Structure 1
Amino acid sequence: MKISVITATYNSEANVATAMESLTSQTYPQIETVVIDGGSTDNTISVVKQNFKKNLKIISERDRGIYDALNKGINNASGHIIGFVHSDDLLASSTILSDIAKIFDEENIDGVYGDLQYVDKEDTSKIIRYWKSQPFASDLLGKGWMPAHPTLFLRKEVYEKHGLFNLDYRIAADYDFMLRIFQDTTLKFKYLPKVITKMRVGGASNRSLKNIKLKSAEDFRALKSNGIKNPYLALAWKNLSKLEQFFVKH
């Protein structure tokens, strides 16, 4: 069972090596890496190539942003399972893809997700926030719940059924997509109670007050367009639930 891991890059030479090393260190043998580069002018592509000798696809051209890049990655992925490792992120352990593949192999599952650690930009062993997830239940969506998107691995058929990321969203297309798939009662999801991904702090959605306001506005639009009841309440719960992430460390 091949796993395709998509990485979107743009002038990412400072951190992309860590992301790539977390992939090359995996014990699982059947990994395809798909790098979608936005036309970097630094050494990003060279750094990527230094880490891979096989099973690497690179597309480097201008795009319409992160979600356009991820859509290109999905369209060019040949794996049975698709996941993401963003250029500032890294997989938490060398066995995590083997753990994920085992669940897909042994259970009738469409998607697997787990926990995420926000880590210091320079010292990735320093935990800033801990996004601990939980087993899925349909009523959680109305409480603003969602798994951490970078930890979500899906069968390719899920994208074939539900489509790609909606480029009308600048920051919340992943939330919109997850609301679509988690409302599909024919799909089955499994929570893996392990840290799958480490994410450096300073992502697009929380980089500035302007982006935080945009994220909330787009989250509300996604809740409303996907038919979630009481979207104002769901958005409030979604934002409040993040507070505990600063106190939970494991």
Structure 2
Amino acid sequence: MKFSIITVCYNSINTIEHTIQSVLNQTFTDFEYIVVDGGSKDGTVEVLEKYKDRIRYISEKDKGIYDAMNKGLKMAEGEIIGMIGSDDFYPSNDVLEAVSAGFDTYKTDAIYGDKQFVNPDNIDKIVRYWTVGEYKKEYWLKGFMPPHLSFYVKKSCYEKFGNYRTDFTCSADYELMLRMLYKNNVSAHYIPKVLMTMRNGGTSTASWKHRWVANQEDRKAWKVNGLTPKWYTLWWKPLSKIVQLFRDK
């Protein structure tokens, strides 16, 4: 079962090589690695060129992060799609091996796992740990969502239910998973393993103002899919992130 791993980036010279190496060092080898660069001018493209024999990449202007992700999906030839950010990295070399085993064992359409956040100046220091837990559809009404970058899903699900909506600026990942898992009942299984490490302070965690915009887009995600959340659903979703700060790291 071939994987397609996709990274989108723009002016990521400080972290992109670490990301690339964490992908290429995986013990599972039946995958292609696609990098969609937005036309970087800081040396990122030179790093990508350095690995051109082991990755596929394009560098051109895009209309935003989700447009870039859709470009990656268009290029993808694997049966399973996974995303990794340009300043993120796999916490161990057996992540894709564990995900592959999950698909083989549970015969599901999607696999997801845990995620950890680290101090960007000291990546050995974990500052937040996201333990997701088993999947139950009704959990969406309690603010549930899988971590986007710890979420792997069959390409056929994108083909059937659509790609990322580019009319969202920061919550198209939430909308896509809501559309697939909650609205269209794509099957999913949780594996209790950290599948992604993210440097704290990325796009989705940038500021309270950004969090407010995300909350409005989360509401829009339910509306565009003709779905009705509970009154507390979209308030509990950001509050659950605060709870993560007090979990054991």
Helix, strand or coil at the partner of 2:232: helix
Alignment-derived partner of residue 29 in structure 1:
29
Render the CA deviation track for 1:142-185: whole Å, top value 9, x for unaligned: 11100101000111101001100111110000001111011256
Which runs of 5 or more residues in structure 2 are unaligned? none
- The equivalent residue for 1:150 is 149
Report the Cα distance in structure 2 between the residues aligned to 1:249 and 1:142, rounded to whole angstroms.
26
Task: Say which SS state the counterpart of residue 124 (structure 1) adopts.
Answer: strand
Alignment of 1:36-115 (within 5 A): 36-51=36-51, 53-54=53-54, 56-115=55-114
Matched to 1:24, the amino acid is: L
* Matched positions, count: 249
CA RMSD, 1 decimal: 1.5
TM-score by length of 1: 0.95
Gaps of 5+ in 1: none
Q: Which residue number corresponds to residue 13 of structure 1? A: 13
**1:141/1:228 contact within 8 Å kept:** no
How far is 1:57 from its partner? 1.1
**Relative to structure 1, is the Cα distance of residues 155 and 225 closer, same or farther in structure 2, using a 3 angstrom cutoff?**
same
Which residue matches 1:140? 139
**1:77-135 alpha-carbon deviations (Å, 9 max, x no partner):** 01111101110100111011011111222331100000000111122111111111011
How far apart, CA to CA, are the structure 2 residues paired with 1:76 and 1:168?
A: 21
CA contact (8 A) 2:112 2:151 kept: yes
Contact 1:21 1:51 in 2 (8 A): no
CA gap of 1:183–1:247, structure 2 versus 1, over 3 A, is same
The 3-state SS of whatever aligns with 2:221 is helix
Check conservation: 1:120, 1:126, Cα contact below 8 A: yes
- 1:82-231 alignment to 2 at 5 Å? 82-184=81-183, 186-231=185-230
Letter in 2 for 1:57: R
- Superimposed CA distance per residue, residues 212-238 of structure 1 (whole angstroms, 9 cap, x where no aligned partner): 221111111112333443454101111
Secondary structure of residue in 2 paired with 1:98: helix
Aligned partners of 1:172, 1:162: CA distance in 2, in Å?
Answer: 17
- For residue 201 of structure 2, what is the amino acid of its counterpart? G
Kindly state the Cα deviation for residue 200 of structure 1 after the two structures are TM-superposed.
0.6
Note closer, same or farther for the CA distance 1:61–1:229 as it changes in structure 2 (3 Å cut): same
Identity %: 39
Structure 1 residues 6 and 226, CA gap change in structure 2 (3 angstroms): same
| 1:4 aligns to 2:4 (yes or no) | yes
Task: For residue 123 of structure 2, give the secondary structure of its aligned residue in structure 1.
Answer: coil
Question: Structure 1 pair 108/212, CA: closer, same or farther in 2 (3 Å)?
Answer: same
Give the drift of 1:187. 2.4
Q: Which amino acid aligns with 1:179?
A: L
